[in-house]
């Protein structure tokens, strides 16, 4: 038979264990749902995870958009200046998607080095550039001269 103090200690221990277990499950679920952002240069250097989804950002390379006939499949390249990553996407592209424009794509790298996109996000107006894309372009000296206009919008 347990004394009242032992019963109290058992309840405290069970509550601590329960809270710890709940925190572990919450952090595990949160970690699995994080989508990190990578630039084409980071992907080229091997920093991007294989087999896990992440965000790829950069500019759509001019003359790289190729649409497969009778299909919603589109191939294009995304660049941050020094490096470009081939992207394969099947679906309807946003209305504002075009060559030379900043985009963010969600997906993962396959074994051949092609980014298999599940979602493509285009800038929401003529003068907006995602901050991650602007920072990457700035680091690589590819930022447009009129970037101050991008910041004001």
- How much is the pTM? 0.66
Is 128 marked within a binding site?
A: yes
Please provide the DSSP assignment of the chain as one string. Answer: ---HHHHHHHHHHHHHHHHHHHHHHHHHHHHHT---EE-HHHHHTT-SPBSS-EEEEEEEPTT--EEPTTSSEEEEEEESSS-EEEEEEESPPPTT--TT-EEEEEEEE-TTS-EEEEEEEE-SSTT---HHHHHHHHHTT---TTHHHHHH-
Q: What string of pLDDT tens digits covers the 153 residues of the chain?
A: 789 999 999 999 999 999 999 998 888 777 666 678 899 999 999 888 888 889 998 889 999 999 999 999 999 999 988 899 999 999 999 988 888 888 999 999 998 889 999 999 986 555 556 666 677 667 766 665 555 444 444
Is 124 marked within a binding site?
A: yes
């Amino acid at each position: 038979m347990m004394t009242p103090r032992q019963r109290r200690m058992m309840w405290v221990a069970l509550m601590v264990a329960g809270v710890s277990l709940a925190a572990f499950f919450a952090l595990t679920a949160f970690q699995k749902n994080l989508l990190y952002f990578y630039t084409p240069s980071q992907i080229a250097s091997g920093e991007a995870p294989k087999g896990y989804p992440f965000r790829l950002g950069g500019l759509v390379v001019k003359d790289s958009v190729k649409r497969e006939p009778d299909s919603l499949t589109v191939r294009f390249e995304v660049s941050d200046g020094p490096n470009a990553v081939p992207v394969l996407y099947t679906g309807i592209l946003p209305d504002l998607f075009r060559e030379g424009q900043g985009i963010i794509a969600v997906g993962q790298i396959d074994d051949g080095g092609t980014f298999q996109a599940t979602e493509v996000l285009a800038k929401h107006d003529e003068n907006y550039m995602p901050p991650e894309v602007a920072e990457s372009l700035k680091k690589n000296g590819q930022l447009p001269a009129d970037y101050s206009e991008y910041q004001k919008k």
